[in-house]
């Protein structure tokens, strides 16, 4: 397996992980309404990336799964949401939210660096299809990063000074 | 022409037709109390309406120290003498026996009458205690769209520099925050580009989610007069309800809720495909065109038709109207602002004007409208999640300038994050990190989404709630301290309408009992808290409306909303004046951006922009590289499906909205007999085809249910879009036995029992117009129609089937127009 295929596989894993994490955070913070709704929307971006990576992966001899977890709530989701509602009246989940946003930011950063690597390799090998994939998806990863950063910036003053 | 007209039956009155490019004729509307004639009026006192954002100028008739009527001001540029039904009749509510006349404080769980020193002492004691124990982030202020400029400015200073809290917002968050945000995104700064005078000159007027006939009825009179005159405009209406605007439109599109961005992207696609683009304007005054063109390249009418459920041919016709306009005026309101992807959609309307070069000329303009009468001033004064004077919280130079005006250390003014928006403040209160909430002139226990949640937040023992209002509203019933406030006609101040026209409103009569002007209450609080500037002098240096206005002028100087050329004296006697009014524009400014874009440069802009999907903020470096020369920014946005979609359990889409005869939560309009009788109780609108399918008829008692709650009302069958339900949002519980919430005997009556807690991530405006719901019959009707007007968007689908809404002799209004 060459470096491009390895990177595709790692990124495919990373985007699937970010989609799952965004969905889990959306459920865990059901009572933080903006986080809940936007994280759900952004999970879809990562699922689209997974799909596109799987499609491109075939050209590179990879058999990557299509996106899983379409957002249909299962038992675990319901449990997470109920737990969120149960502690919705307490300030401590504010800290948990900051931790989760930080994790999302780091996961998205990792994906962003993989996209950077893929774009560079695509240019070096004059692989237009791969370049189109990277330049189509990477901007959305950067937007995921900016969102987590903005939310951390906006929410941390209250969360960290009110306990 | 001199006529006496039933203005409940004919809300827009008689026509005064006029030709394109001519001046709108005067028509003076007068309503005097029964038994009073013009000879019995001792004084006429100048004011303007605070029952919508139009800024209708009027004089209040006074006899023996009482209000006895109103008359439109012929010399005013906004209404040229006309008044709409709420202007004509709601003044009677000032004299309601229900007015609060003494402060109330909570004792052993009950609100009891008290006095001002006791009530203010409690507020001050709690403020000091919280500041000492928990810091300024534990105190929040939730204000209104109905106070005066002088009051908002004073509140902004005492909250931001006195308390030092970031938590100050207005209920304007519910009505106008998307307008402000869309203007910031496109033009770098807030500020209405167009003017109402553009109605006189436009050949195409496009109304996006804007039922002008009911939200600003006087400007609808203006359009009706143009439609009756020579060279009338063609109208495009985007609205899922059969509004009066829709009935007069050349093209009417009734899209599925939550799909505005898809529709607008298809309209942009067509305008670009047919090359109706003003390439010179685009090159000179914008950045971002190429990105937009590529993003809408595949967004064909056929693509949008499948999403919006509107025929592709109609979308193409709408695009043709927009593309063929010689002077295009667009207006935008809640159908966009309170719907899914609010800011993204409002920005696409700006984009239509930017790529067509339709700005800054007579008839070519955008009006991103406001809902409430003084919403504009909460934005300007920094009481609406912005810093005063449209200053940029991310720009240290702007904060330093503000600190200089206030003579405080810049660190005193929270600017480490954007000012906290209302929905987040309620979340902080729910979490328990916000412990005091001072609510002025608004009624969140009826007007915010998901009311069971809001009531449970306000009712918490640990949250100290202060309510300052005219009446014992649903919210006031949950308060710890209630302060009786004076209102319009009982206090002096200025306010600014949706087209930047500043009006003065003078005191005509004394407030009832011990009620005090909101400004006096804030000044009293500032004095008791002993807020100081950095040299130890008093932070708030003014003492009455006029000195407050002068203080605000210093804060506005050199900013887009520059008031330095105005004084109370100058605003008394003539017409209202449009800001900016300063040395360069001594007569005021009809249109912004007549010669390029003026407030988008990185050094002066109010905002560096946000991601239209995530709401993530850009920083100065990103903005400077995108827009180094301060041009307008064309921002593209992709369509996202709404967060709540109909399913088997909740098969309908649900929207809420207003009716012409009421304002907000009816605290005033229900106390005017003519207005109350025109729409006395809540109702539910459904389409004829849905009613037939469910075996429902006009007047049946129905429940509308969502995962949040239910509303019960009589059914009105209309020509609304099939699959869509509508509930007016005005009704609550203060005039029911239940008091402030539904109980065993009183079913849900407030539309917001059903709405979802979700907001636009960019403007933070709650989405009242995108929910899924179920509809069930509770009992058959008894032959009486629903208590809904027949004169408005609520008109029955079979016009001959029901008696029309009338007001009778009590609703007769004198209309005088020159021949």
Q: Does residue B321 register a pLDDT over 70?
A: yes
Q: Do A147 and B611 touch (CB under 8 A)?
A: yes
State the helix-helix crossing angle for A93-124 and A3-28, rounded to 10 degrees: 160
Q: Does residue B227 register a pLDDT over 60?
A: yes
- A154 in Cβ contact with B385 (< 8 Å): no
Q: In the numeric block, which tokens belong to residue B646?
A: 């109909």
Chain A and chain B share a number of CB contacts under 8 A equal to 82
Q: What distance in Å separates residue B519's CA from the closest CA in chain A?
A: 29
Q: In the numeric block, which tokens belong to residue B210?
A: 């804007």
Tell me how many helices (H) and strands (E) chain A has: 5, 0
Q: Does residue B375 register a pLDDT over 80?
A: yes
* Residue B468, CA distances (Å) to B95, B163, B476, B540, B740 in order: 18, 19, 8, 20, 16
Under DSSP, is residue A119 helix (H, G, I), strand (E, B) or coil?
A: helix
Q: Do A33 and B617 touch (CB under 8 A)?
A: no
Q: In the numeric block, which tokens belong to residue B784?
A: 């009486």
pLDDT class for B355, splitting at 50, 70, 90? very high
- Dist. CA B752–CA B641, nearest whole Å: 22
Q: Do A157 and B614 touch (CB under 8 A)?
A: no
Q: What distance in Å separates residue B419's CA from the closest CA in chain A?
A: 9
Region B418-446: mean pLDDT is: 97
Q: Which of B393, B413, B431, B452 to mutate to probe the A interface, most A CBs <10 Å?
A: B431
In this prediction, residue B819 carries a pLDDT of 67
**B48-65: per-residue pLDDT in tens?**
999 999 999 999 999 999
Region B440-457: mean pLDDT is: 98
The chain-wide mean pLDDT, for chain B, equals 97
The CB density around residue A129, as the number of other CB atoms within 10 Å, is: 11
pLDDT class for B513, splitting at 50, 70, 90? very high
- B497 in Cβ contact with B376 (< 8 Å): yes
Q: Does residue B783 register a pLDDT over 80?
A: yes
H helix or E strand, kind and range, residue A95: helix A93-124
Q: In the numeric block, which tokens belong to residue B31?
A: 């309503």
**A35-44: per-residue pLDDT in tens?**
999 999 999 9
Q: Which residues contact B501 (CB under 8 A, 6 or more apart)?
A: B55, B77, B78, B576, B577, B578
The CB density around residue A13, as the number of other CB atoms within 10 Å, is: 16
Q: Do B761 and A37 touch (CB under 8 A)?
A: yes
- B484 in Cβ contact with B514 (< 8 Å): yes
B139 forms beta bridges with B436
- B775 in Cβ contact with B702 (< 8 Å): yes
B63 forms beta bridges with B66
b/e map B88-111, b = 16+ CB within 10 Å: bbbbbbbeeeebbebbbbbeeeeb
pTM of this prediction exceeds 0.95: yes
- Dist. CA A51–CA A16, nearest whole Å: 9
Residue in the structure block whose two tokens are 């901007």? A139
Q: What angle do CA B687, B692, B694 make, to 5 degrees?
A: 100
- B518 in Cβ contact with B468 (< 8 Å): yes
- Dist. CA B790–CA B808, nearest whole Å: 15
B529 forms beta bridges with none
Q: In the numeric block, which tokens belong to residue B267?
A: 């309209």
Chain B residues within 8 Å of chain A (Cβ atoms)? 134-135, 137-138, 166, 414, 416-418, 420, 423-424, 427-428, 430-433, 611, 613-618, 640, 643, 757-759, 761, 764
b/e map B385-422, b = 16+ CB within 10 Å: bbbbbbbbbbbeebbebbbebbebebebbbbebbbbbb
- B712 in Cβ contact with B745 (< 8 Å): no
Of B397, B398, B380, B402, the closest CA to residue B389 belongs to B380
Q: Do B134 and A162 touch (CB under 8 A)?
A: yes
Region B373-388: mean pLDDT is: 92
Q: Does residue A72 register a pLDDT over 60?
A: no
Q: Does residue A71 register a pLDDT over 70?
A: no
CA dihedral of A120, A123, A128, A130, whole degrees rounded to 10: -20
Region A136-152: mean pLDDT is: 98
**Nearest CB to A158: which of B137, B430, B764?**
B137
Q: Which residues contact A6 (CB under 8 A, 6 or more apart)?
A: none
Q: Are strands B710-718 and B701-705 parallel, antiparallel or unpaired?
A: antiparallel
Q: Which residues contact B714 (CB under 8 A, 6 or more apart)?
A: B681, B683, B684, B699, B700, B701, B702, B781, B784, B785, B786, B787, B788
Q: Are strands B771-779 and B652-657 parallel, antiparallel or unpaired?
A: antiparallel
- Dist. CA B192–CA B359, nearest whole Å: 11
Under DSSP, is residue A20 helix (H, G, I), strand (E, B) or coil?
A: helix
In this prediction, residue B155 carries a pLDDT of 98
In this prediction, residue B798 carries a pLDDT of 87
Q: Does residue B171 register a pLDDT over 90?
A: yes
Running DSSP on this structure, what letter comes out for residue A67? Answer: P
Q: Do A157 and B416 touch (CB under 8 A)?
A: yes
Query: B652-811: which CATH number, 3.40.190.10, 3.30.559.10, 2.40.40.20, 2.20.25.10?
Result: 2.40.40.20
ipTM above 0.85, yes or no: yes
Domains of chain B, by residue range, sit at 2-97+812-817, 104-176+374-391+419-549, 177-369+618-633, 652-811
pLDDT class for A79, splitting at 50, 70, 90? confident
Q: What angle do CA B204, B207, B209 make, to 5 degrees?
A: 165
In this prediction, residue B1 carries a pLDDT of 66
**B539-549: per-residue pLDDT in tens?**
999 999 999 99
User: Is residue B739 left, alpha or beta, with left meaning phi > 0 and alpha meaning psi from -120 to 50?
Assistant: left
Nearest CA in chain B to A152: B417
Q: Does residue A77 register a pLDDT over 80?
A: no
Region B205-230: mean pLDDT is: 98
Q: Which CATH number applies to B2-97+812-817? A: 2.20.25.90
- B234 in Cβ contact with B220 (< 8 Å): no
Under DSSP, is residue B444 helix (H, G, I), strand (E, B) or coil?
A: helix
Q: Which CATH architecture best describes the domain B104-176+374-391+419-549? A: 3-Layer(aba) Sandwich (3.40)
- B208 in Cβ contact with B260 (< 8 Å): yes
R_g of chain A, CA atoms, integer Å: 17
Q: In the numeric block, which tokens belong to residue B391?
A: 């200053």
Nearest CA in chain A to B418: A154
Q: In the numeric block, which tokens belong to residue B3?
A: 């006529």
pLDDT class for A69, splitting at 50, 70, 90? low
Burial of B294 (0-12, 13-18, 19+ CB in 10 A): exposed
**B99-140: per-residue pLDDT in tens?**
999 999 999 999 999 999 999 999 999 999 999 999 999 999
Lowest mean pLDDT among A19-23, B47-51, B148-152, B798-802: B798-802
Q: In the numeric block, which tokens belong to residue B669?
A: 């309009």
Three-state SS letters, B513-540: CCCECHHHHHHHHHHHHCCECCCCCECC
Chain A residues within 8 Å of chain B (Cβ atoms)? 31-34, 37-38, 40-42, 88-91, 93-94, 143-144, 146-147, 149-150, 153-154, 157-159, 161-162
* Cis-peptide into B580, omega within 30 deg: yes
State the helix-helix crossing angle for A93-124 and A33-59, rounded to 10 degrees: 20
The fold of the B177-369+618-633 domain, in CATH, is: Dimethylsulfoxide Reductase; domain 2 (3.40.228)
Domains of chain A, by residue range, sit at 3-161
Residue A162 half-sphere exposure, CB side, CA atoms within 13 Å?
24
B469 forms beta bridges with B484
Q: Does residue B563 register a pLDDT over 70?
A: yes
* Residue B618, CA distances (Å) to A40, B608, B615 in order: 22, 6, 9
Spell out which residues of chain B touch residue A154, defining contact as CB-CB under 8 Å: 417-418
**Nearest CB to A33: which of B138, B615, B757?**
B757
Residue B370 half-sphere exposure, CB side, CA atoms within 13 Å?
33
**B679-702: per-residue pLDDT in tens?**
999 999 999 999 999 999 999 999
Which CATH superfamily, name and number, covers A3-161?
A: Ferritin, core subunit, four-helix bundle (1.20.1260.10)
In this prediction, residue A73 carries a pLDDT of 58
**B268-300: per-residue pLDDT in tens?**
999 999 999 999 999 999 999 999 999 999 999
* Residue B14, CA distances (Å) to B104, B224, B381, B805 in order: 46, 10, 38, 17
Region A49-76: mean pLDDT is: 83
Q: How far is CA A23 from the centre of its chain?
A: 9
Q: In the numeric block, which tokens belong to residue B218?
A: 């006087």
In this prediction, residue A70 carries a pLDDT of 55
- Dist. CA A81–CA B88, nearest whole Å: 50
């Amino acid at each position: 397996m060459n470096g491009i295929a390895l990177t595709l596989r790692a990124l495919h894993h990373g985007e699937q992980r970010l989609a799952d994490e965004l969905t889990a955070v959306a459920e865990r913070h059901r009572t933080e309404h903006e986080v809940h709704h936007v994280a759900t929307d952004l999970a879809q971006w990562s699922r689209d990336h997974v799909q596109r990576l799987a499609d491109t992966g075939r050209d590179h001899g990879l058999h990557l799964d299509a996106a899983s977890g379409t957002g249909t709530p299962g038992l675990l989701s319901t449990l997470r949401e109920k737990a969120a509602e149960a502690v919705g009246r307490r300030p401590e989940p504010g800290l948990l939210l900051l931790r989760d946003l930080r994790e999302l930011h780091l996961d998205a950063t990792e994906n962003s660096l993989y996209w950077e690597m893929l774009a560079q390799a695509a240019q070096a090998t004059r692989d237009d299809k791969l370049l189109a994939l990277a330049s189509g998806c990477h901007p959305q990863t950067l937007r995921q990063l900016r969102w987590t950063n903005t939310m951390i910036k906006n929410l941390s003053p209250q969360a960290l000074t009110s306990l | 022409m001199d006529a006496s007209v039933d203005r409940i039956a004919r809300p827009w009155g008689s026509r005064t037709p006029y030709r394109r490019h001519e001046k709108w004729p005067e028509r003076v509307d007068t309503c005097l109390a029964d038994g009073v004639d013009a000879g019995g009026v001792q004084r006429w006192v100048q004011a303007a309406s605070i029952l919508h954002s139009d800024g209708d100028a009027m004089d209040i008739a006074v006899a023996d120290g009482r209000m006895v009527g109103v008359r439109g001001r012929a010399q005013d540029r906004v209404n040229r003498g006309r008044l709409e039904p709420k202007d004509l009749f709601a003044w009677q509510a000032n004299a309601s026996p229900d007015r609060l006349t003494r402060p109330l404080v909570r004792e052993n769980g009950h609100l009891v009458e008290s006095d001002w020193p006791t009530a203010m002492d409690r507020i001050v004691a709690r403020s000091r205690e919280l500041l000492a124990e928990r810091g300024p982030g534990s105190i929040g202020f939730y204000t209104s769209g109905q106070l005066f400029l002088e009051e908002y400015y004073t509140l902004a200073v005492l909250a931001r520099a006195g308390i030092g809290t970031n938590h100050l917002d207005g209920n304007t968050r519910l009505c106008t925050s998307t307008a402000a945000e869309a203007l910031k995104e496109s033009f770098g700064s807030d500020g209405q580009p167009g003017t109402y005078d553009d109605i006189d000159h436009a050949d195409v007027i496009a109304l996006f989610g804007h039922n002008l006939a009911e939200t600003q009825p006087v400007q609808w009179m203006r359009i009706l007069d143009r439609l009756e005159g020579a060279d009338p405009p063609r109208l495009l209406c985007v609205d899922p309800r059969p509004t009066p605007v829709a009935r007069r439109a050349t093209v009417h599109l009734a899209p599925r809720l939550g799909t505005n961005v898809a529709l607008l992207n298809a309209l942009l696609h067509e305008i670009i495909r047919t090359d109706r683009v003003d390439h010179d304007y685009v090159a000179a005054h914008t950045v971002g065109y190429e990105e937009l063109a590529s993003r809408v390249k595949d967004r064909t009418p056929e693509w949008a038709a499948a999403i919006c459920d509107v025929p592709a041919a109609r979308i193409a016709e709408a695009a043709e109207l927009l593309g063929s306009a010689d002077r295009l005026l667009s207006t935008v309101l809640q159908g966009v602002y309170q719907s899914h992807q609010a800011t993204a959609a409002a920005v696409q309307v700006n984009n239509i004007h930017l790529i067509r070069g339709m700005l800054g000329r007579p008839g070519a303009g955008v009006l991103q409208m406001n809902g409430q009468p003084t919403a504009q001033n909460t934005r300007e004064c920094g009481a609406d999640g912005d810093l005063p004077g449209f200053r940029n919280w991310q720009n240290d130079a702007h904060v330093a300038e503000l600190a200089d005006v206030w003579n405080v250390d810049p660190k005193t003014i929270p600017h480490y994050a954007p000012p906290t928006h209302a929905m987040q403040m309620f979340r902080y209160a729910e979490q328990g990190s916000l412990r005091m909430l001072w609510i002025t002139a608004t009624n969140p226990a009826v007007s915010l989404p998901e009311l069971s949640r809001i009531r449970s937040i306000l009712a918490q023992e640990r949250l100290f709630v202060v309510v300052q209002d005219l009446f014992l509203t649903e919210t006031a019933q949950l308060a710890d301290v209630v302060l009786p406030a004076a209102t319009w006609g009982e206090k002096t101040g200025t306010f600014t309408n949706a087209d930047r026209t500043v009006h003065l409103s003078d005191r005509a009569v004394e407030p009832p009992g011990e009620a005090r002007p909101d400004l006096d209450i804030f000044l009293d609080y500032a004095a008791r808290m002993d807020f100081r500037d950095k040299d130890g002098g008093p932070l708030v240096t003014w003492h009455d409306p006029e000195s407050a206005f002068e203080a605000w002028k210093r804060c506005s100087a050199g900013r887009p909303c520059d008031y330095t050329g105005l004084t109370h004296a100058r605003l008394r006697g003539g017409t209202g004046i449009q800001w900016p009014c300063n040395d360069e524009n001594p007569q005021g400014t009809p249109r912004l951006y007549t010669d390029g874009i003026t407030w988008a440069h990185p050094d002066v802009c109010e905002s560096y922009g946000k991601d239209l999907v995530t709401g993530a903020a850009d920083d100065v470096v990103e903005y400077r590289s995108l827009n180094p020369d301060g041009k307008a920014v064309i921002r593209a946005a992709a369509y996202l499906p709404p967060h709540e979609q109909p399913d088997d359990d909740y098969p309908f889409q649900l929207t809420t909205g207003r009716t012409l005869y009421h304002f907000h939560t009816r605290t005033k309009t229900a106390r005017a007999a003519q207005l109350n009788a025109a729409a006395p109780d809540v109702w539910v609108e459904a389409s004829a085809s849905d009613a037939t399918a469910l075996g429902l008829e006009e007047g049946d008692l129905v429940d509308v249910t969502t995962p949040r709650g239910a509303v019960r009302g009589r059914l009105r069958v209309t020509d609304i879009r099939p699959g869509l339900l509508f509930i007016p949002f005005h009704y609550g519980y203060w005039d029911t036995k239940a008091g402030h919430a539904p109980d065993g005997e009183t079913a849900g009556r407030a539309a917001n029992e059903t709405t979802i807690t979700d907001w636009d991530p960019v403007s933070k405006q709650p989405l009242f117009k995108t929910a899924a719901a179920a509809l069930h019959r509770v009992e058959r009707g008894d032959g009486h129609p629903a208590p809904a007007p027949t004169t408005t968007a609520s008109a029955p689908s079979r016009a001959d089937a029901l008696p029309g809404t009338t007001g009778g002799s009590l609703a007769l209004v004198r209309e005088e127009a020159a021949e």
